[in-house]
Amino acid sequence: MSWSRNVILAVIFLIASTSTPLYALEAGDFPAPGFRVIDTAHGFGALVKKLNGAIKGNGMAAVTRASATKGAASLGVTIPGNMVVGVYHPKFAVRMLEASIPAGVEAPLIFYITETPDGTATLSYRTPSAVFAPYGSAALDQMAGELDAIFAAIAAAATAP
């Protein structure tokens, strides 16, 4: 048995044996400022679809996508719906990098969808202004303010009834 297989088995054991459910988030669960957590009446799959439409409808693009649910399933483990969607646009990438090359590590910005015990889903994200604040750049702060409005609009459209 290889070391990586042992690690995988240990993770599966921890997931299976934990008494803490792998479910819903609350704003207080996040260790940094600027997080928004929005409970919805939508199921996980419906919220994923609504988010996709809201991203496009607000002139942005989903440039990355990762699902812990699908990853766990590949190991034979079932967990509640869980996905991160990286969102950005080249026009913001150019401006970001003009203001700060190190800030490039922050792109794309992330929306996080989690399934709750009642079958609905929660949409979470960190505001762009909170993400870029540590870089101390007026140009980044201005861009982040624009992105705050776009991300709020995406979140509102995705979570609307």
So what's the pLDDT on residue 33? 81
Does a structural domain hold residue 137?
A: yes
Closest CA to 125 of 72, 59, 55, 56: 55
Does a structural domain hold residue 10?
A: no
- H helical segments located in the chain: 3-17, 44-57, 68-74, 90-99, 128-132, 138-159
| Rounded-to-integer distance, Cα 159 and Cα 161, Å | 6
Top-confidence residue, 41 or 20: 41
Q: What is the mean pLDDT of the chain?
A: 87
Write a three-state SS string for 74-110: HCCCCCCCEEEEEEECHHHHHHHHHHCCHHHHHCCEE
Pairing label, strands 35-43, 109-115: unpaired
Cα separations in angstroms, 30 against 33, 41, 42: 8, 22, 22
Find the mean pLDDT for residues 142-148: 98
Does a structural domain hold residue 93?
A: yes
Does a structural domain hold residue 1?
A: no
Domain of 43, CATH number, reads 3.30.310.70
For residue 136, what are the domain limits? 24-159
Does a structural domain hold residue 16?
A: no
Does a structural domain hold residue 111?
A: yes
Q: What pTM value is reported for the model?
A: 0.81
Supply 118's token pair.
């009642």
| Rounded-to-integer distance, Cα 9 and Cα 13, Å | 6
Does a structural domain hold residue 103?
A: yes
| Rounded-to-integer distance, Cα 51 and Cα 158, Å | 5
Confidence of residue 29 (pLDDT cuts 50, 70, 90): low
Does a structural domain hold residue 123?
A: yes
Number of domains in the chain: 1
